[in-house]
C-alpha cells in the first residue's frame, strides 16, 4: 500500500449524485477516528475527474474536511492516454468509478498499472450506441465484460458495489448462509422507492422524475425486456416492462413492481440454481406517466429528465431495498429502508444515492484494508471467494436492517404476475 501520505484515490464522475454521496461519507470519515478508513482518508490525495467539472469552491462548501486533500481535473474519460497518464502522474492507488465511462476500458487502464478499481454498475459505450441491441443492453454489457474479466490479473477490482448491484448480494448470501439447510425455490431482489416531492407545485409538465439517473432508469424501464434467471439461464418476456407487475410481500408491507434486468440477477443467477429476479417500483407519478405512454415509449426519451433532489424541495417517502427467499410455504426477507428527509440533514444527499455510496464505501474499504487476491470480483464472488470484511465496513454507515418471515408464499414469478390493462 505504500506510505499513508502517498495513498491516492481517484474518483471518476465527481460531479454526479453518487460521487457527491461518496464524498459526503469520506468527509465524515476524515473527522471520525472510529471510521475503518479514517487513517487512510486523512493522509490521502483525492483526485476528482469530471468532463464538466466545477470549481474548488463547490467542493469546499460541501466537503470542507477534505478540501486540503483535493485535486480537481476536467477531461473526457474517453481519452484513455490522458487517463492513463493521470493515473501515473498522481500515483493513484485506487479508482472509484461512478462515471459513464466504458467499464472495460477503465479496468484495462487500471490493470496495466496495477491500480485497484471499484464501480457501481457496468457501462459500455458501444452497447449504448448499438440500436440492434434494443431489449438486451444490460445482458450485452455483462457478456462483453465476462469475456474480458479473467484477463485482468494485475488489479484488484470490485464490479457493481452499489446498493443493487452490491449490498443486495451481501444480503442474499447472508440469508442463504443463515438458512443453509433449506435451499429456496427462488430469490427476488426487490425495491420500492416511493420518494417524491411533497410540494407538487414544483413538478414540471412532460418531465420524468427519479431518484437516480433518469436515463439509466429508462434504459431498464422502456429499452429492455423483462428478464429473470432460472437454471443459470437468462430468460426474457417479450413484453413491455411496465405491462406486467409482480407481487412482493414483506410482513405487513405489500406492493407490486416491475420485473427489470439487473446485474445482480445475472451474477447471482450464475452462482445459484434457483429462480432469480429483480422487482422494482418507483414513485407513483413516474409509474403512471410510463403506463400512460406505453403505446409511444419513444416519445418519453424526448421529455425533460430531472432528479428528485432534496435540496430542491422536501422529499416524502422512502427507498426500501431488500431480498426475499421463497419457499413452498413461507418466505424469508431482509431489507434496508432510508428516507431522504433523514439522510439529507446529515449528508446533504438523497436516500437512494446514499445507499449506493454505502456499498461503494464497503468495497473501497475492503480493497484498501483487506488482503484481496488479484483479480476481478462481483460482490457475491468477493464474499464467497475472499476474506473480505465487507459486512463490517458496510454496516458502519448502513445499520438498520429489517429481518422477517412470511408464514405463506406468493410463489414463483408466474404466480405473482398481474397484467396491467
Residue 195, SS3 per DSSP:
coil
For the chain, the C-alpha Rg in angstroms (whole number) is 21
β 186-193/275-281 pair status: parallel
Going by C-alpha positions, the residue among 198, 345, 193 that lies closest to residue 279 is: 193
CATH 3.90.1720.10 fits 4-162+353-388, yes or no: no
Residue 419 neighbours by CB distance under 10 Å: 8
Write down the H helix ranges in 30-75.
38-41, 56-62
- N residues, the chain: 421
Going by C-alpha positions, the residue among 64, 216, 92, 61 that lies closest to residue 73 is: 92
Residues 275 and 412: beta-carbon distance below 8 Å: yes
- Residue 204 β-bridge partners: none
- b/e code 140-150 from CB counts within 10 Å (16+ = b): bbbebbeeebe
- Please tell me whether the peptide bond between 165 and the residue prior to it is cis, using omega within 30 degrees of 0: yes
- Residue 228 β-bridge partners: 235, 277
The number of C-alpha atoms within 13 Å of 356 and in the hemisphere containing its C-beta is: 25
Torsion of CA 197, 201, 206, 208, to 10 degrees: -10
Residues 262 and 278: beta-carbon distance below 8 Å: yes
Residues 263 and 165: beta-carbon distance below 8 Å: yes
How does DSSP classify residue 161?
-
Residues 321 and 354: beta-carbon distance below 8 Å: no
The number of C-alpha atoms within 13 Å of 278 and in the hemisphere containing its C-beta is: 26
Question: CA 260: distance to chain centroid?
Answer: 14
pLDDT of residue 4: 45
The pLDDT tens digits along the chain (421 residues) read 344 447 999 999 999 999 999 999 999 999 999 999 999 999 999 999 999 999 999 999 999 999 999 999 999 999 999 999 999 999 999 999 999 999 999 999 999 999 999 999 999 999 999 999 999 999 999 999 999 999 999 999 999 999 999 999 999 999 999 999 999 999 999 999 999 999 999 999 999 999 999 999 999 999 899 999 999 999 999 999 999 999 999 999 999 999 999 999 999 999 999 999 999 999 999 999 999 988 888 888 889 999 999 999 999 999 999 999 999 999 999 999 999 999 999 999 999 999 999 999 999 999 999 999 999 999 999 999 999 999 999 999 999 999 999 999 999 999 999 998 7
The CATH class of 167-352+401-419 is alpha beta
Residues with Cβ within 8 Å of residue 147, at least 6 apart in sequence: none
Numbered ranges of CATH 3.40.50.720 in the chain? 4-162+353-388
Question: Rounded to whole angstroms, how far apart are CA atoms 168 and 188?
Answer: 10
C-alpha distances (whole Å) from 193 to each of 41, 242, 284, 338 are 32, 16, 9, 10
Residues 352 and 319: beta-carbon distance below 8 Å: yes
Numbered ranges of CATH 3.30.360.30 in the chain? 167-352+401-419
Amino acid at each position: 500500500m505504500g506510505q499513508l501520505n502517498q495513498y491516492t484515490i481517484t474518483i471518476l464522475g465527481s460531479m454526479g449524485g453518487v460521487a457527491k454521496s461518496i464524498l459526503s461519507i469520506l468527509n465524515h470519515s476524515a473527522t471520525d477516528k472510529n471510521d475503518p478508513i479514517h487513517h487512510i482518508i486523512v493522509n490521502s490525495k483525492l483526485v476528482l475527474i469530471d468532463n464538466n467539472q466545477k470549481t474548488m469552491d463547490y467542493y469546499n462548501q460541501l466537503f470542507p474536511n477534505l478540501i486540503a486533500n483535493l485535486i480537481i481535473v476536467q477531461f473526457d474519460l474517453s481519452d484513455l492516454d490522458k487517463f492513463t497518464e493521470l493515473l501515473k502522474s498522481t500515483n493513484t492507488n485506487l479508482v472509484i468509478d461512478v462515471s459513464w465511462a466504458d467499464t472495460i476500458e477503465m479496468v484495462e487502464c487500471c490493470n496495466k498499472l496495477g491500480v485497484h478499481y471499484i464501480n457501481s454498475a457496468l457501462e459500455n459505450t458501444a452497447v449504448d450506441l448499438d440500436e440492434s441491441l434494443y431489449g438486451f443492453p444490460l445482458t450485452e454489457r455483462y457478456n462483453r465484460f465476462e469475456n474480458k474479466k479473467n484477463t485482468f490479473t494485475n488489479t484488484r477490482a470490485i464490479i457493481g458495489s452499489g446498493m443493487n448491484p452490491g449490498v443486495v448480494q451481501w444480503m442474499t448470501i447472508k440469508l442463504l448462509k443463515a438458512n443453509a439447510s433449506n435451499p429456496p425455490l427462488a430469490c427476488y431482489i426487490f425495491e420500492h422507492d416511493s420518494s417524491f416531492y411533497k410540494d407538487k407545485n414544483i413538478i414540471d409538465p412532460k418531465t420524468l422524475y427519479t431518484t437516480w439517473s433518469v436515463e439509466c432508469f429508462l434504459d431498464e424501464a422502456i429499452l429492455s425486456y423483462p428478464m429473470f434467471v432460472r437454471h443459470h439461464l437468462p430468460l426474457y418476456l417479450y413484453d413491455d416492462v411496465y405491462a406486467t407487475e409482480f407481487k412482493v410481500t414483506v410482513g405487513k408491507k405489500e406492493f407490486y413492481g416491475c420485473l427489470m434486468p439487473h446485474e445482480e440477477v445475472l451474477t447471482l443467477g450464475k452462482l445459484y440454481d434457483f429462480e432469480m429476479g429483480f422487482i422494482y417500483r418507483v414513485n407513483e407519478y413516474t409509474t403512471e406517466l410510463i403506463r400512460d405512454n406505453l403505446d409511444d415509449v419513444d416519445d418519453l426519451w424526448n421529455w425533460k429528465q430531472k432528479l428528485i433532489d432534496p435540496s430542491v424541495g422536501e422529499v416524502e417517502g422512502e427507498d426500501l431495498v431488500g431480498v426475499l427467499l421463497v419457499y413452498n410455504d413461507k418466505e424469508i426477507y431482509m431489507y434496508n429502508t432510508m428516507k431522504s428527509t433523514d439522510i439529507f440533514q446529515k449528508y446533504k444527499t438523497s436516500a437512494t444515492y446514499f445507499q449506493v455510496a454505502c456499498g461503494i464505501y464497503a468495497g473501497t474499504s475492503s480493497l484498501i484494508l483487506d488482503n484481496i487476491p488479484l483479480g476481478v470480483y462481483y460482490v457475491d464472488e468477493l464474499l464467497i471467494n475472499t476474506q473480505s470484511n465487507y459486512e463490517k465496513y458496510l454496516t458502519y454507515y448502513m445499520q438498520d436492517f429489517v429481518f422477517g418471515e412470511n408464514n405463506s408464499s406468493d410463489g414463483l414469478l408466474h404466480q405473482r404476475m398481474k397484467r396491467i390493462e
